[in-house]
């Protein structure tokens, strides 16, 4: 898992100094959107059944996607 990105936001403030909006470099914004999309997929799939790693590996070998290490 990667660590939280280091953001360098700039703020738009009102006449009283209250923060009203954030300005981010486009690269940082796009990374945040990608992370949110990834988290949404994880949340959607939370209740799906789990397949053991050994079963996945065996199926991949059986279907010719992995070479057997025997």
CA 16: distance to chain centroid?
Answer: 36
Identify which of 21, 20, 23 has the alpha carbon closest to the alpha carbon of residue 9: 23
Within 8 A by CB and 6+ apart from 15, the residues are none
Which tens digit of pLDDT belongs to each residue from 11-26?
999 999 999 999 999 9
Phi, psi (rounded to 5 degrees) for 68: -70, 135
pLDDT digit string, tens, across residues 5-60: 678 899 999 999 999 999 999 999 999 999 999 999 999 999 999 999 999 999 99
> d(Cα 1, Cα 38) in Å, to the nearest integer?
12
Its pTM surpasses 0.85: no
User: Please, are residues 19 and 13 in contact by the beta-carbon 8 Å criterion?
Assistant: yes
The domains of the chain are located at: 10-62
């Amino acid at each position: 898992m990667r660590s939280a990105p280091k953001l360098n936001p700039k703020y738009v403030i009102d006449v009283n100094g209250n923060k009203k909006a954030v300005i981010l470099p486009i690269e940082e914004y796009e990374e945040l959107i990608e992370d949110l999309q990834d988290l949404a997929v994880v949340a959607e799939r939370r209740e799906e059944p789990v397949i053991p790693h050994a079963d996945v590996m065996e199926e991949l070998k059986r279907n010719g996607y992995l070479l057997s290490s025997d």
